[in-house]
Every structure is written in structure tokens, then in C-alpha cells.
Chain A
Amino acid sequence: MLELEGIDVFYGPSHVLHALTAHVEEGEVLALLGRSGAGKTTTLKTVMGWLRPRAGRIRWRGQDISHWESVRIARLGFAMVAQGRRVFPSLSVAENLGIALNPTSPWSLEDVYQLFPRLEERRYQAANTLSGGEQQMLSLGRALVRGPRVLLLDEPTEGMAPAIVQLTHQVVEMLREAGITVVLVEQNLAFALSLAARVAVMNKGQVVYEGRAQEFAAHRELQVQYLGVSTTGLRVGS
């Protein structure tokens, strides 16, 4: 289990996470929802070790990792698909995957190329020459070759064409079936609810609602109350 307990995070003087408490069961997909500015991305960055909590504990399988260096957290089995897809622009596609490759990962480079044939076609191309969708594939592939136990996904469908959204859906399903723990930050509610077992809704740096995804999907009033989804309802596809 991944547990966050009373986490306080600041960006300079501004207090972003307020005694955040949440947990993720091993092997489950948790959708972390909330309006923009609620602190979802900050939460992922804090778990990954990119931000240091000023107070509180982060525990993985009972071990306190709150003040671990990011690289140590990565080597423990955490991987991140960051917002905006962040590929290494100076590296080729093959190098982007190669530096992340963990020999014990169940997914090899060949598996990634099989999953995303476009990447194999472009393996020697610099990553900054890829299209947005291809960069998304690369970002997902890089997470797969880490062989993660916990995958943090930050708005993977943002700005993506329907075909790429579909592909991302398949990858998360595959991870779920492999028993990987996934924390999914997503604005696309239909996408998130179709994958997640549970949802946690954040507001102003705190979790204000936790429940089963099915229940959250069935009750429009919950969505309206916590996300302000009033007129558009569920956005399907992209």
C-alpha cells in the first residue's frame, strides 16, 4: 500500500498541499480528480521525490520514503509519465528508452516497439522531432521499460487525438492486468472512471472525497458537487 499521511507541501511561500492524507492499494488504479489548481500534479511530484514535504509521511509497503532522493524512489519501482509528456529532446527515441531500461522489467525494448511500431520506425530520430502523440507513446514506453511497481500518470490524455487516447487506455488496462499500482491524474472523467477502481477528489490541497469509481460514476450530484461537472457531464473520448 502507498500511504500519504498529513503531507504539507509549499512552493516558496505558497502552501499547496494541506495535511493531505490518501492511500492507494497495491495493484489498484486510483483516479486522482479535482479542478485545476487542486494540487493533483503537486501530489504526484511529491510522491516521486521532486518536491519535499515539509511535514507528513509517505510510506510504501510500510517503509517511510518521504525524504528519499528521487532516483532512489525511481529505483524502488516508481515511474512517472509527466504532464506534457517531457521526453529528452537531445536523445533519440532509442536513447530515451535505453537510459530508462531496467533489465528486470517485464517489458523489454522489443515489447515497447511491438506495442508502438511508430517508435521503432523512428528509433534513431531525435525525440523533439516526434509528434505529440508519438512523444506520448515514448513517455509511456519509457515508463514500461522501468518495470514499475507504481506508475504515476499525469494527465496522459491532455491534448491527445482519440486514437492516442484509446492507445493510452489499452496501456493502462495492460498495467492493471499486470497488477501494477497506478495513480491517474486526469481531467477526462470518462477516461478516468473507465479505468479506475477508486477515485479520490482533491480540492485546495486536500482530499475531500474518496469512494468507488462505480459509485462516483453513477451519481451525477457527486460530480457536480466536487468537480463542477454540470452542463457537459461526462466527456467521452478526448
Chain B
Amino acid sequence: MVLEQLVNAVSYSMLLFLLAVGLSVTLGLLRVVNLTHGSYYLLGGYVGLSVVRWTHNFLLATGAGAATTAALAALMFWGLLRRFLGQESAQVLITFGSLFIVADGCLAIWGGQTYTIPPPPGLSSSLLLAGAHIPTYLLLLIAVGATGAAAVYWVFERTRVGAMVRAAVDDRELAEACGVDVRALSFGVFTLGGAIAGLAGVLGGPVIGVYPGADLAVLLLALVIVVVGGAGSMLGALLGSLVIGFVTTYGSLYFPEIASGIVYLAMVLVILFRPQGLVPARGLDQT
């Protein structure tokens, strides 16, 4: 029981991290909440679902889901957002409108049912571990999530490009004066963030499912994570995901009556004591 809940909480946290990391970094860079971020999750999930049905290949489905949402994010940035950099209300409107367009498009193609993506063959059973039944798929989720988190963290914290992104989050003007092409960087980060959210949609398909409204549900969760963790920071996204993952899992176990609100309670507590989030990017600390 203890182990089962722990695996649930950790795997859910990893999924949340994949979902929130792109939102956090694009918020840090563009100073705008990308309200379409949840739509990448939804679209990724639907595309993954169709690919699994046609090909029975889960790996291919994750690739297809991520590629589709990367393309959508790239199109949104290059076609629309690029022209409105610095105009925050215009950007909010664009991303909010895109949310409805994607949601209606998905409804037209995939209909209104709730689907669960079948996990890859061989990972649909459970493992008896120290007396606990652990679904093997959750272990995969943990492995993929942890690997992804480590890779993203490494790029962000240990490479020159990562340093450029952090510099642009700290001080956009100054980064440009140092020869950093912040617009090109934002395009890359926006696209990559979209790809990772799409990947999360496919990976979350067997656990959370794919259904109309999932876009808003996960957008809200991702926003809570960014608020709890602090915008623009990798460590913040990771910590925020762990906090929300554990609070959700153990909250619904011990306080089922208030399970749906407990995440927000956690958020309010963090805001009360650390309004800037647990570990915000340092440049955003003062603002």
C-alpha cells in the first residue's frame, strides 16, 4: 500500500513535470502565459491514440504526438506570436483563442468520448514488489519522466544555449545587447515546450486518459505548478510537480472529500509564504 502510493505519486509528478516545464520556461522568456499549453497535451494524446490504433506501436505514437504538437507550437509562434512580442494582452488573446480552435478541432475529429490509450504490450500488467502490486506502466512513466527531466535540466543548466535561455529570462534587453538572439531562442523553447507537452499527452493517455476538457484541466494543473515552483526555473518546475503530484495522490487518499480542491489549498499556502514561488528564476525574483 505504501509503496503503491509512492509509485503513484512519483509517476504522476514526472508526468506533471513534462507537462509544466515548457509552460514555465516560455512564461519566463515571453512573460506571457501560453494558454494553449494544455491543448498540446490534448492534441498529443489524440494523435497518440490514433497512431496506437493504426500501428499498435506505442513508441511511434509518442513520436507522432510530440512531432504534431511541436509543429503546432512552431506554427503558432512563427505565424502569430512572433509579431506580438512584448504585447502581452495580444499574446494572451492569441493563445486563448487557439485553445478553443484546437479543442473544437479535436472534438470534430475524435468526438466527445473519453479514451484511454492502451499501454505498450508487456507494460499492461503489474509487478509484485515487496508485497505490493505495481503497474509496470507507472515504472516506465517514472523512468521516462526522470530521464526527460534530467536531460532538460542538463541542457538548461549546463550548456551554453541553456545559459542563454536563463540570461534571456533574467534580462531580455541585456541578453540581446550581449548578442543573444532572444527571438530565435524563444521560438526554439516554445517549440520544444510544445513537443514535451504533446509527449506528456501520449504518456498520460493510459493513466489520465484523453477527453474533451482535458486541455483545460491540465492547463490549470500546469499553472498551479508554475505558481508553486516559480516561473522560468527548471528546479521550480520539478519541485512544483513533486509538490502537486504528492499532494494530489496523498490528498485523495486521506482527504477524499476535498480531493479536488487540495491542490489549490497547497498553492494558496505557498503564495502566502513565498509569493514568488519556491525557486523562481533569480532575475524574476525582484519583479
Contacts and interface: CB of A to CB of B under 8 A. Distances in A.
B173 A90 contact: no
A78 B167 CA distance: 18
A140 interface: no
B268 interface: no
B179 interface: yes
A99 B180 contact: yes
A70 B171 contact: no
Nearest to B158: A95
Contacts of B169: 90
A56 interface: no
Nearest to B172: A70
Nearest to A50: B173
B285 A99 contact: no
Interface in B130-187: 160, 163-164, 166-167, 169-171, 173-183
A126 interface: yes
B169 to A, nearest CB: 7
B167 A90 contact: yes
Contacts of B171: 86, 88
Nearest to B166: A90
Given A99-B160, A126-B282, A91 B177 contact: no
Contacts of A100: 178-179
Contacts of B166: 88, 90-91, 95
Contacts of B281: 90
A160 to B, nearest CB: 19
Given A71-B180, A71-B182, A89-B283, A95 B163 contact: yes
A142 interface: yes
Contacts of A89: 170, 282-283, 285
A46 B196 CA distance: 38
Given A89-B283, A89-B285, A90-B282, A99 B177 contact: no
Interface string A135-179: 000000010001000000000000000000000000000000000
B177 A80 contact: yes
B167 A91 contact: yes
A91 B178 contact: no
A49 B170 contact: no
Contacts of B180: 71, 99
A74 interface: yes
B165 to A, nearest CB: 10
A69 B184 CA distance: 13
Interface in A97-156: 98-100, 102, 126, 128, 142, 146
18 contacts: A80-B177, A82-B174, A82-B177, A88-B170, A88-B171, A88-B175, A90-B166, A90-B167, A90-B233, A90-B283, A91-B167, A95-B166, A98-B163, A99-B163, A100-B178, A126-B282, A146-B178, A146-B179
6 closest A-B pairs by beta carbon, nearest first, are A89-B282, A70-B176, A100-B178, A95-B163, A71-B176, A90-B282
Given A48-B177, A70-B176, 5 more contacts: A74-B177, A74-B179, A78-B177, A90-B281, A91-B167
Interface of A: 48-50, 69-71, 74-75, 78-80, 82, 86, 88-91, 95-96, 98-100, 102, 126, 128, 142, 146
